[in-house]
Amino acid sequence: TGPVTEAVLGALAHADSVRRLEVRANADTPEDAARARALGAQGIGLCRTEHMFLGERRALVEAMILARDDAAREEALAALLPLQREDFTGILTAMDGLPVTIRLLDPPLHEFLPDRTELAVRLASTAQPDPHDRELLRAVERMHEQNPMLGLRGVRLCLAVPGLMAMQVRAVAEAVTARLHDGGHPRAEIMIPLVGTVEELRLARSETERVLAEVATETGTPLDLPIGTMIELPRAALTAGRIAEAADFFSFGTNDLTQTTWGLSRDDAEASFFPLYLEKGVFGVSPFESIDQEGVGRLVELAVEAGLAVNPGLETGVCGEHGGDPDSIHFFHRAGLDYVSCSPFRIPAARLEAGRAAVTDGTGTSDTR
Ligand code: PEP
Ligand code: MG
């Protein structure tokens, strides 16, 4: 190792010794998990499960959505179960001994179905259309939403599609059990997305606990996994005291929280009037890049305070893009969060910044800089 490498490693080691914020990674493959771990991640703060339903598995997801009856849906879910179990086993193995927060399926269901217009054009231009395509088009039309990001996604999806949540929780539970039998130290946590009221979380939690207990009875292995929620809607932040009654942890989804607090589409904003707003100084920096301390940040502070007042053992973190942004990391340190979670490649910088945040508020020594 050269002198530069040594200096960087020294700075990282020092930052690690003074920082109070843990640094976890957003990762959803064993490869990303291993890469993040090598860069110093102390676990996975967000394992998104949506990509696990794409590629070759699309047909099964389509079958689950289009299922004519319960039996057909259960068949599709039964085929997905071992695939999900394998996904989770791989990630838990790569992160053995460290926490892995697995988020239940979040995106709007229509994302797994073909594009409505393309399908309609294909059907219209075919002399003898495939009956499956006709059925597919009907389903796509039935599921069409004007504002999918405000529609059937997150916990709503978990509660609306019978068996989906149970399948995912069972896959986690079976992966944990398998790892335990192999002598591993799996530390899976289950996270419910897009909760707006404690009632949604209570329903999702009781179904999660039911499945965990079922698997524990079948295998004779107790399963006591933390169950928590994302705080990514203003209503969730404002009612955090109620929500904390049913949560073991809060993870702030600052991407959606920024979108819903500002009423700005996270998918379109940057492409439209953002340059103008930056030029006119309405924003110093995009609120999707760095935490808006007066608005979104205020909701984070309120929710942390209210959550801890009700549930002193509540763990708090952030897993939106802001978790890897230097200024935001300083803010989250001051707000008293337990961890930030970011893309693997941002881990080393996040460790350094978390160390600097501790130095800045006087809890670390000054030679981090
Ligand atoms: C968020 O909303 O900040 C978040 C982490 O979830 P996602 O980006 O997957 O919606
Ligand atoms: Mg989100």
Tens of pLDDT, residue by residue over 243-256, are 999 999 999 999 99
The per-residue pLDDT for 143 is 84
Q: pLDDT, tens digit, for every residue of 113-171? A: 888 898 899 899 998 888 888 888 888 888 888 898 999 999 999 999 999 999 999 99
Neighbours of 86 (CB within 10 A): 15
Q: Tell whether the model's pLDDT for residue 316 goes beyond 80.
A: yes
- Ligand 1 binding pocket includes 108 (Cβ within 6 Å): no
Q: How far from each other are the two terminal CA atoms of the chain, in whole angstroms?
A: 21
Nearest 5°: the CA angle 321, 323, 329 is 135
Give the three-state DSSP class for 190: strand
Return residues with CB closer than 5 A to ligand 2 (ion): 232, 253, 256
Is 342 noted as a catalytic residue in this protein?
Answer: no
Is 147 marked as a binding-site residue?
A: no
Q: Determine which of 1-5, 14-18, 59-63 has the lowest per-residue pLDDT on average.
A: 59-63
Is 135 marked as a binding-site residue?
A: no
Q: How far apart are CA 293 and CA 151, in angstroms?
A: 27
The H or E element containing residue 293 is none
**Beta carbons within 8 Å of 64's beta carbon, 6+ residues apart:** 73, 76, 77, 80, 161, 164
Distance 182 CA to ligand 2 centre (A): 34
Give the three-state DSSP class for 172: helix
- Ligand 1 binding pocket includes 136 (Cβ within 6 Å): no
Distance 88 CA to ligand 1 centre (A): 20
Q: What is the pTM of this model?
A: 0.94
- Ligand 1 binding pocket includes 154 (Cβ within 6 Å): no
Q: Given pLDDT bands bounded at 50, 70 and 90, which one contains residue 268?
A: confident
Atom of ligand 1 nearest to the CA of 254: 3
Q: How far apart are CA 136 and CA 342, in angstroms?
A: 37
